[in-house]
Amino acid sequence: GESVGLHLPTLSVQEGDNSIINCAYSNSASDYFIWYKQESGKGPQFIIDIRSNMDKRQGQRVTVLLNKTVKHLSLQIAATQPGDSAVYFCAETHQTGANNLFFGTGTRLTVIP
Amino acid sequence: DSGVTQTPKHLITATGQRVTLRCSPRSGDLSVYWYQQSLDQGLQFLIQYYNGEERAKGNILERFSAQQFPDLHSELNLSSLELGDSALYFCASSGPYYGYTFGSGTRLTVV
């Protein structure tokens, strides 16, 4: 099956700094990617998504970059806040046929006040 | 409230027992997915249903089964439970207009 992995299992940043969370995926047929935030005891919460026909997408304080050549995805969080502390997962899927998501193992982001 | 409802929120049961987890998808969503998350791990895909039919299977044990009913709610049945089955079980739904939405999960503890 597909394999989605993360380069760093933990990340600590100072409040106000920018955070970058990386993800590698293995299935070149994947055409849709999503970043999720998961707080302790809660379900994954959608942050931002990107389709394979794009290489960058911006949201509020978040940016996702997609490099299909090296099968790499990153999430950038600007001006990181204590409320951003959580585990972040990238997920991939192919949007036709069985379109279940495959998740990476997650990166725990800790924001230091 | 994400629109995806999972019950119960917590479940404690003994080894060898059988439990049923329930999921009501977001209104209008035809696809339901089940995921298992062990402590500090990622989400492992178990199974997907679309409009009552099984569409995809992941790493689901033979002791586990699922179904989706005509009203589109889904149940995940876990039998002959083992200590290692203790985990968070999440349901997600998706539809034609919105992406994937997760429920808040059921925490299963097998003792």
pLDDT tens-place string over residues B29-82: 999 999 999 876 789 999 999 999 999 999 899 999 999 999 999 999 999 999
- Residue A98: pLDDT band (50, 70, 90) is low
The span from the CA of B6 to the CA of B103, in Å, is: 6
Mean pLDDT of A67-94: 95
Which positions in chain A have a beta carbon within 8 angstroms of at least one beta carbon in chain B? 1, 34, 36, 41-46, 49, 89, 91, 98-106
B87-104 residue pLDDT tens = 999 999 998 766 789 999
Confidence of residue A1 (pLDDT cuts 50, 70, 90): very low
The residue of chain A with its CA nearest to that of B43 is A103
Residue with tokens 């997760």: B102
Task: State which residue of chain B sits closest to A6, comparing Cα positions.
Answer: B42
Q: What is the per-residue pLDDT across A6-34, written as a single tens digit (0 to 9) for each?
A: 444 899 999 999 999 999 988 888 999 99
Nearest to B2 among A43, A91, A105 (CB): A43
Structure tokens at B99: 């992406």
CB distance A100–B104 less than 8 Å? Answer: no
Give residue A99's pLDDT band: very low, low, confident or very high (50, 70, 90): confident
d(CA B81, CA A29): 36
Radius of gyration of chain A (CA): 13
**Residue-level pLDDT at A9:** 83
According to DSSP, residue A83 is labeled G
| Residue in B31, B58, B103 closest to A43 by CB | B103
Quick one: pLDDT at residue A96? Answer: 65
| DSSP string for B69-99 | -TTS-EEEEE-S--GGG-EEEEEEEE-SSS-
Which tokens hold the place of A74? 């990153």
3-state secondary structure of A82: helix
Query: Is there a contact between A100 and B99 if contact means CB atoms under 8 Å apart?
Result: no
Q: With contact defined as beta carbons under 8 Å apart, do B49 and B108 qualify?
A: no
Q: Is the pLDDT of residue A81 over 80?
A: yes
pLDDT in tens, A34-69: 999 999 888 999 999 999 999 999 999 999 999 999
- The single residue listed with the structure tokens 């379109």 is A99
Whole-Å CA distances, B57 to A93, A99, B13, B95: 14, 11, 26, 19
Q: Which of A8-22, A88-102, B18-32 has the lowest mean pLDDT?
A: A88-102
Specify the pLDDT at position B52. Answer: 96
Predicted pLDDT at A3: 47
- Mutation target for A interface from B44, B45, B94: give the one with most A CBs within 10 A: B45
pLDDT value of residue A84: 97
CB contact under 8 A, B90 and A43: yes
